[in-house]
Amino acid sequence: MKGEKRNLVLIGFMGSGKTTVGRKLSYRLRMPMEDTDRLIEQREKKSIRQMFDEEGERFFRACETKLLRELTQRAAGPRIYSVGGGTPAEPANRPLLKELGTVIWLRVRPDTVYRRLRGDTVRPLLQCPDPLERIRSLMEERGQAYRACADVTVDADDMSAAQITEQILRILDAKNKEAPFGGGEAPF
Ligand code: S3P
């Protein structure tokens, strides 16, 4: 990877803005974007909610790991990847995420997620009597996993997607200056 442009990998809880920010980064950096949830849905020809209902969460988690393995092996030009909120929670996925590219964590508070996703019907883990409590406990469980994967962390509660995108671009730019092209570390 030395001297080549690396992939960017957006991680973060449901509702942290990975897809929206990923699209904006894709536009600004002229790098195609792919969303692993959508790739899995296309492959399995069903929605994630249906997958959870019919095959169970374990099946979906196995699809995530299999896909990540494939993405790390494929020789495609640099991409921006947005991955599901639970992907870093699976220990096997952490080295794969790091291998895939520069990992950017969009960190959010539980109340932000609750506000953004109130009434959501597509995320199976939030179809429960007390979604705020579920968000809190999952976030607590996953905090360490997100931290362990992240190369870059951005607090994404009180900024628009456009502001978050600009902040990420500034951080990446500064990182590239620290380790200039050909200077050892790959850009991004
Ligand atoms: C999940 C997050 C979802 C999706 C699935 C499980 C999770 O992705 O992968 O519903 O475990 O947090 P988003 O983070 O894109 O909503």
This prediction's pTM? 0.93
Q: Does 97 sit in the ligand 1 pocket, CB within 6 Å?
A: no
Least confident of 17-26, 126-135, 176-185: 176-185
Mutate to test the pocket of ligand 1, among 33, 108, 125, 140 (most ligand atoms within 8 A of CB): 125
Please report the DSSP string for the chain in residue order.
-TTSPPEEEEEESTTSSHHHHHHHHHHHHT--EEEHHHHHHHHHTS-HHHHHHHT-HHHHHHHHHHHHHHHHH------EEE--TTGGGSTTHHHHHHHHEEEEEEE--HHHHHHHHTT--S-GGG-SS-HHHHHHHHHHHHHHHHHHH-SEEEE-SSS-HHHHHHHHHHHHHHHHHHS-TTSSSPP-
Q: Does 120 sit in the ligand 1 pocket, CB within 6 Å?
A: no
For residue 152, the cross-strand partners are: 104
Two structure tokens written together for 122: 């597509």
Least confident of 30-39, 167-176, 179-188: 179-188
Residue 80, pLDDT score = 97
Least confident of 35-49, 93-107, 147-161, 174-188: 174-188
pLDDT in tens, 56-78: 999 999 999 999 999 999 888 89
Two structure tokens written together for 1: 């990877």
Taking the CA of residue 16 as reference, the ligand 1 atom at the shortest distance is 14
pLDDT in tens, 148-158: 999 999 999 99
pLDDT in tens, 126-144: 999 999 999 999 999 999 9
pLDDT in tens, 73-120: 988 889 999 999 999 999 999 999 999 999 999 999 999 999 999 999
Q: Does 48 sit in the ligand 1 pocket, CB within 6 Å?
A: yes
